[in-house]
Amino acid sequence: MTAPISEGVHGTPELNGVSLNDFSTASNVKRTDYLSWDEYFMSLAFLSAMRSKDPITQVGVCIINSEKKIVAVGYNGMPVGLSDDEMPWTKGLDDPLQNKHLYVCHAELNAVLNKNSADVKNCTLYSTLFPCNECAKVIIQCGIKEVVYFSDAKINKPQYNAAKIMFAKAGVKTTPFNKTGRTVAIYLS
117-147 burial, b at 16+ Cβ within 10 Å, e below that, comes to: eeebeebbbbbbbbbbbebbbbbbebebbbb
Dihedrals φ, ψ of 105, to 5°? Answer: -85, 130
Does residue 41 lie in a domain region?
A: yes
Does residue 89 lie in a domain region?
A: yes
DSSP class of residue 103?
T
Does residue 108 lie in a domain region?
A: yes
Catalytic residue among 7, 108, 134, 146: 108
| CATH assignment of the domain containing 110 | 3.40.140.10
Count of domains for the chain = 1
Residue 70 exposure: Cα atoms within 13 Å on the Cβ side: 17
Domain around 132: 36-176
Task: Note down pLDDT in tens along the chain; length 189 residues.
Answer: 566 666 666 666 676 666 666 666 667 788 888 999 999 999 999 999 999 999 999 999 999 999 999 999 999 999 999 999 999 999 888 999 999 999 999 999 999 999 998 899 999 999 999 999 999 999 999 999 999 999 999 989 999 999 999 999 999 999 999 999 999 999 999
Does residue 105 lie in a domain region?
A: yes
- The pLDDT value recorded for residue 65 is 97
Contact between residue 61 and residue 126 where contact means Cβ atoms under 8 Å apart: yes
CA dihedral 160, 164, 165, 168 (to 10 degrees): 170
Distance CA 42, CA 17 (A): 44
- The pLDDT value recorded for residue 66 is 96
Residue 154, class by beta-carbon neighbours within 10 Å (0-12 exposed, 13-18 middle, 19+ buried)?
middle
68: left (phi over 0), alpha (psi -120 to 50) or beta: left
Does residue 125 lie in a domain region?
A: yes
Does residue 159 lie in a domain region?
A: yes
- Beta-strand pair 70-75/5-7: unpaired
- The pLDDT value recorded for residue 24 is 62
Does residue 12 lie in a domain region?
A: no
Is-catalytic flag, 108? Answer: yes
Does residue 70 lie in a domain region?
A: yes
